[in-house]
A and B are shown apart, each in its own frame.
Chain A
């Protein structure tokens, strides 16, 4: 697969603060990649080094095979959708969208045609002569998108572009952006701190923490196979358990958690001795009133029940004081419902128990896999 963007050992320091620490990242042509992380993790700085607003302290940035590390933003074939949209307030919608093409000295009739197409694409036909101040937040967002896409960039960079929209509009824009990206086939690099947004839109997610990429992979891989406690915790909900390794036989390992709870886990990466961290998604915990056959069955009581609309969240506690959070579909119409105080059998399928690297990012895990 073609690499559209390559970051090679990129570091960015602001004074004594290390915003980005030795990141290697490949972005494939035509993919929707999301940089996901908490605020201050360095994801925006990474984006700005690709757009050219920041110069790496060390390392290099390549765009479509060309080293662009030293090129100013106006000489790079990328365009950005800014968090604040950054529409030119003195120009109409049409002039905003035409700005990039005019800078490229595109002939007037071509500009007119492509601007009309771009405005049509974001469903803003009829708004051409409005000024940005006369538009709603969602409409401004579309203008910003059209203004960047009309330039046919090699990569479209989106810096939390949906953050200022209300929840409902944000959800519909997520779907719309994803469809647009699939249709146009342009490489999208999207920055967000919203894990749900990342899961909905991305082909791949790079989870960024403290200036480093903790894990990069497809959305399902990131969700189902988090490698570090940070990734497991940041994306979705997770029960993160500390466990001691008892034995390791073939592909399976026996571990012991708090409260004398013994579990069988997929253990090909476990060392025979020592402690490890495990992650279990709350929705993967299977509950029943009768003891099921199979491994990893625990007997517990429902300690707390929280109504969350479409789902119910249950806090389970074993006699030994071992706690787990489980999420089940709304129980109002369920055959078997569990309420506060009920006894319940819960089963953790060995494939659903994910062994986490205790610390460090991708490298630490990679080292253990070899």
Chain B
């Protein structure tokens, strides 16, 4: 940092033309696939639906009125609840894992991180369908339960996790767990060992050291993890349909249907915009809280 500030004091404040050139592919990509489509959604959300994916270019607030109507508030609420529960479970499962990796010796740390990354080498869809073979009636889980005589002694023979909300939760947690582990790991790794020693020296046992020193100092990582899990989890679709067999219908599914079989582009756009504003609000809420701590 020192060398760049010495070389050109302005460089830290305003990027020069070289920086713009270096960033241009990213900027083009963002413009083409984020800014323009979002702008189109924004415009479409004020058009009138003409059915069968046709629109009437007439200004209306009707789509937003419908989005906030009691009919769809349930979907929003359910999505928020699923995403919220996913976030909590990811934090509870992911924190100890991240802590363990972060405190491991440097060599083992990288190997453990690899284990977290390996699932990314397989397509998300394949991983999801793999879960159906584990969770369905004749799947791995039930075979195991039968072998252990849990079926039929404790559970009846019709027992199946697939096609239940539990299956949706399992796949949501499974999918987003790495997004919690990685940022938490980042903040655990930065934790200065001597701080833990100082706490112990001052009379704090392991539990109180964790609550008073480790947890507060790794909260930024948890905050980032919450953001990275909650935001995409709210908008999750399709997977929910596969896992629940249609019994769990979330806001993501509703939006997907508007652009698909429902053929109501303006309403789908309005729902999308509402979600987007929600995300931005969440994001600012979190980043602001981090600055104050």
Contact = CB atoms under 8 A, between A and B. Distances in A.
Contacts of B212: 99
A217 B133 CA distance: 76
A216 B197 CA distance: 29
Given A88-B213, A90-B217, A103-B208, A73 B201 contact: yes
Nearest to A151: B202
A80 interface: yes
B97 interface: no
Contacts of A84: 192, 194
Contact of A103 (B195, B203, B293): B203
B205 interface: yes
Interface residues of A, number: 23
Nearest to A98: B202
Interface string A72-110: 111000111010101111100000000110011000000
Contacts of A147: 202
A68 to B, nearest CB: 13
B287 interface: no
A51 B198 CA distance: 10
A88 B202 CA distance: 12
Given A86-B192, A89-B217, A90-B293, A151 B197 contact: no
B216 interface: yes
B: interface residue count bin: 10 to 19
Nearest to A144: B198
B203 A100 contact: yes
B202 A99 contact: yes
A303 B197 CA distance: 54
Nearest to B219: A90
Chain B at the A interface: mostly helix, strand, loop or mixed?
Answer: helix
B200 to A, nearest CB: 4
A82 B217 contact: no
Interface string B30-73: 00000000000000000000000000000000000000000000
Given A86-B192, A86-B195, A80 B201 contact: yes
Contact of A79 (B202, B204, B208): B202
Interface string A42-59: 000000000111000000
Nearest to B205: A74
Contacts of B208: 103
Given A84-B192, A88-B195, A79 B201 contact: yes
Given A84-B192, A86-B195, A51 B201 contact: yes
B236 to A, nearest CB: 34
B198 to A, nearest CB: 4
Interface string B183-196: 00000000010110
B175 to A, nearest CB: 32
B85 interface: no
Interface string A222-242: 000000000000000000000
Nearest to B215: A90
A74 B293 contact: no
B194 A82 contact: yes
Contacts of A51: 201
Given A52-B200, A151-B203, 14 more contacts: A73-B197, A74-B200, A74-B203, A80-B201, A82-B197, A82-B198, A86-B192, A86-B195, A87-B198, A88-B199, A89-B217, A90-B293, A100-B203, A147-B202
Return the 10 tightest CB-CB contacts between A and B, nearest first.
Answer: A103-B203, A100-B202, A86-B198, A86-B194, A73-B200, A90-B216, A74-B200, A103-B204, A80-B201, A74-B203
24 contacts: A74-B200, A74-B201, A74-B205, A78-B201, A79-B201, A80-B197, A80-B201, A82-B194, A84-B192, A86-B192, A86-B197, A86-B198, A88-B199, A89-B217, A90-B217, A90-B293, A99-B204, A100-B202, A103-B202, A103-B203, A103-B208, A104-B203, A147-B202, A148-B201
